[in-house]
Structure 1
Amino acid sequence: MGFWSLFIVASMPNLQFLLVGLLGAFLASGYINILSTNALRDMNKIVFVVFSPALVFASLAETVTLQDILSWWFMPINIGLTFLIGGILGWIVVKILKPEHHLEGLVIASCSAGNLGNLPLIIIPAICNEDENPFGESSECKTIGLSYVSFSMALAAFFIWSHTYSLMRKSSALYEQIHGENATIKLPENDSGRSGEAQNQYKEGYRDQEALLLPSTKPTDRAAEHQIIAPLLSKGEGSKNKPHFWTSPKATLTWIAEEFLAPPTIAAIFGIVIGITPWLKSLIIGATAPLRVIQDSISLLGDGLIPCVTLILGGNLTPGLRGSAVKPAVIVAIIGVRYVILPLFGIAVVKAAGVLGFLPPSPLFEFVLLIQFTLPPAMAIGTMAQLFDVGKEECSVIFLWTYLVAALALTIWSTIFMWILS
């Protein structure tokens, strides 16, 4: 297949994503304002608690088998390498460009955590639906591709809701600390025309304004507000209350367990368990399964993930149009890491794994591994920024530019990957 034909195949899913994302941006704009800040926050909660777990569970329970899990053993290593290499590159960016301290976690997270679930769920089926795709017959390609992507999404949840979540929580604690130290009350100089009572009234009024403008200096207040949607936001007050392993191993193990209680992660675990257990799978999967209505209902909920997530993304990009809260050099560096350096590392890693015999004989599997190195920042970062109320504006600016560039970068790299594998 020619390079131009592959380019056409690769461009279709990215155009679909771009069009729906633009609709979300329009709905969140001042012209309509249907997707207001509160609406986006509520949709984020629904996606996090309902749609994402439903799609992960339905896909894994239906397609994954024990043999598949064993033959895909390199995928968690590949995802771990994307986080490791991206994290190191993000740390280098932070050390060189020196963004504000409470934004360091956001920059590293943007470089290390890619959108390993939602975007591939759009890209892979769309590519498979193209008649000239290099991965075989459309329906079979789509079924196998969704199983790869669902497994990738499940694995990504472990990394995102541990490594990335920890970065964003530390940034939130630092943000609270900085605002707590800087929240000083500046009164106008006393003069003969201002009585002591007037001074007291001004002071009380300033405190009222300060209470409205500044976030609470108690992380537990904000954590309690979001416990329903993020059970990981538990009782700790930032990193200072994080137990040391040697002094309290039981508390440390409890904290680690809480890190993995995100709904998508729990759904992934149940989906894999049912997928690899034949008698459980026969109960809910298949046309003759006695409890098939459960799988049908969960699949119906999961189908809402892709349009909702894409609309949310478009809506979250809108604030980035209203001003730049991040140094341009930082944005350029993140784009360079995600769309230039990481894909080159990805080609080296996947080709080396193929030569060493670590991969199953499936070009589509290799393509998914390569795509994992080429994705824009995970949208879960934006969710965490809203949950922790830190770096929301900066996150919107980073998302705006990285996802705009992604439309072109993903098309070019997808074409190159398919050309290499075909």
Structure 2
Amino acid sequence: MAHQFARLLFESGMKSQREDVLSAIVPLLKLLSLTMIGLVLSRFEMIPRATFKLLSKLVFALFLPCLIFTHLGESITLENFIQWWFIPVNVVVSTLIGCFLGYLVVLVCRPPPEFNRFTIIMTGFGNTGNLPLAIVSSVCHSSDNLFGPDCHRKGVAYVSFAQWVAVILVYTLVYHMMEPPMEYYEIVQEGTEIQEQETDDVSAPLLVEAEWPGIEDKETEHSKTPFIARVFASISSLSSLPDIDPRDGAITRGDTPMSVTCFAAPNKVARKIRVVAEQTPIQHILQPPTIASLLAILIGIVPHLKDLIFGDDVPLSFVTDSLQIVAGATIPAVMLILGGMLAEGPNESMLGLRTTIGIIVARLLVLPLVGIGVISLADKLNILVAGDQMYMFVLFLQYTTPSAILLGAIASLRGYGVREASSLLFWQHILALASLSLYLVIYFKLMSFI
């Protein structure tokens, strides 16, 4: 009798393990199938590259904002807005830990010196938007998912609630960290010119357009120069770099060396900070997805507005129904675009094999382990929303995704590490299938215990 009972327990445990593995891998296989369709369509030129670029613009300006607005606006309330505070904070924490791991990669792997900052950035800043949305949507697609009937709505709301923090970080910190290093400016500039000649019609357009359509129109006079280094260092040997007018702090150009008296002024630091701030593309933060997030939060936390727009029998329910229909195209479009990008293949990279492997290991394998510790500690401190497994799952995902595709666009805008970003993003997204499968199984197991 005892033997039969033990056998039943063993079989039950084996069945449970198989179900956990399948529940983690099947959603990723669905996303892989969509990505493969995009890859085949692009590889065999069944769809022109211009179509993928147009699809990127539709996702950026229409599909994604509709998805964010309908799900975040319906889910959020003033109470939730306060309860969810750890979601955006976790983005900052995961980024800081990732940057520290990137610094360790620099120390251990010793990349070419001009790519030290690049290594830190590519390790630290993960995809907190489109890929987590795709994973959540795929996990919630089946009716017997682990997170209940509100799986999709809550998952999209949690991911969307974190996006504005990531956008602010990208258009401030990342933008300036990705400027060409001063001491290697000529080398990096040469590499950028070669990149533009070789990949004008091959890989750069789709990589650049994937998450920031129209980026070529955002380039400024100083986008591809070591601007901060030039402003804060009393170096004027490169006449092509900006100088500071000692009268009003304006940026000027010329062959005359920068006046020493300009830096001797009492307010020299404030003047330099102001010049740098003026060149920070903070205006790009207010893009359609971010505007949709802010609008959804505003309407969601005001009960009278929410009662007009969100619900089954509200006056403007037809509007949200229409937006939900449009939003349904987001995930398929995102994965098709990713497939088109991967079809271009990896570019040549001067980063080095050892550094490339170091970044991939740190980003896809080590950072998720650290994330498990951080989320477990937060749970012990009662910081998380009690009993909400989807909340915890989204926090885990913020440590697990590959580097943000948007970093490739920023690299192109700044003229720094364009080839290296393209190559690294390609290999990370290829290998992320294995790492995501592994960690999704681990996360599903952990959430049943924590």
Q: Which residue of 2 aligns with 1:26?
A: 40
In structure 2, the residue matched to 1:159 is 169
- How big is the shift at 1:5? 1.3
Greater Cα offset, 361-370 or 116-125: 116-125
| Change beyond 3 A, Cα 1:173–1:290 | farther
Please name the residue that 1:61 is paired with. 73
Task: Give the match for residue 178 of structure 1.
Answer: 187
Give the corresponding residue for 1:89.
Answer: 101
Q: Report what 1:110 is aligned to.
A: 122
Cα displacement (A) at 1:374: 1.0
Query: Contact 2:74–2:300 at 8 Å: present in 1 too?
Result: yes
Structure 2 contact 65–292 (Cα < 8 Å) conserved: yes
- Distance in 2, matches of 1:410 and 1:265, equals 27
Q: 1:240 aligns with which of 212, 223, 227?
A: 227
Contact 1:94 1:108 in 2 (8 A): yes
1:111-167 CA-to-partner distances (Å, cap 9, x unmatched) read 1122222222222233234455443x3x22232222222213343333333333333
TM-score, normalised via structure 1 length: 0.78
3-state SS of 2:344 partner: helix
2:390 is the alignment partner of 1:364? yes
| Aligned mates of 1:67, 1:150 — CA distance in 2 | 17
Change over 3 Å in CA distance of 1:331–1:251 after alignment to 2: closer
Q: Does 1:302 align with 2:327?
A: yes
CA distance in 2, matches of 1:172, 1:57: 39
The two structures have a TM-score, normalised by structure 2, of: 0.73
The letter of the residue matching 1:178 is: I
Q: Which residue of 1 aligns with 2:154?
A: 144
| Aligned equivalents of 1:420, 1:210: Cα separation in 2 | 45
Aligned to 2:339: 314
Deviation at 1:351, TM superposition (A): 0.7
Say if 1:57 and 1:235 are closer, same or farther in 2 by CA, change over 3 A: farther
Q: CA deviation at 1:235?
A: 5.5
Rounded to whole Å, the distance in 2 between the matches of 1:228 and 1:157 is: 16
Go from structure 1 to structure 2 and tell me whether the alpha carbon gap of 1:11 and 1:303 turns closer, same or farther (over 3 Å shift): same
- Structure 1 residues 252 and 106, CA gap change in structure 2 (3 angstroms): closer
Q: 1:401 aligns with which of 427, 432, 438?
A: 427
- State the one-letter code of the partner of 1:21: T
Q: Is the 8 A contact 1:44 1:383 kept in 2?
A: no
Quote the offset at 1:177 in angstroms. 4.3
Q: 1:4 to 1:145 in 2, by over 3 A?
A: same
Alpha carbons of structure 1 residues 129 and 174: separation in structure 2 relative to 1, 3 Å: farther
Cross-structure match for 1:266: 291
Shift in CA distance, 5/183, structure 1 to aligned 2, threshold 3 Å: closer
**Which residue, out of 321, 335, 340, partners 2:360?**
335
**Structure 1 residue runs without a partner (length 5+):** 185-208, 216-221
Give the drift of 1:349: 0.6
Q: Give secondary structure in 2 for the equivalent of 1:364.
A: helix
> Does the CA contact (< 8 Å) of 1:161 and 1:262 recur in 2?
no
- Counterpart selection for 1:124 from 109, 131, 136: 136
- Whole-angstrom CA distance in 2 between matches of 1:120 and 1:183: 31
Q: CA deviation at 1:324?
A: 5.8
Worse overlay, 150-159 or 307-316: 150-159
Does 2:388 correspond to 1:378?
no
Judging changes above 3 Å, is the alpha-carbon distance between structure 1 residues 22 and 387 closer, same or farther for their aligned structure 2 residues?
farther
Give the structure 1 partner of residue 24 of structure 2: 10
Question: Would the alpha carbon gap of residues 101 and 23 (structure 1) be closer, same or farther in structure 2, given more than 3 Å must change?
Answer: farther
One-letter code aligned to 2:74:
E
Question: What amino acid maps onto 2:37 in structure 1?
Answer: L
Q: Matches of 2:330 and 2:367 in 1, distance apart? A: 27
Counting matched residue pairs gives: 384
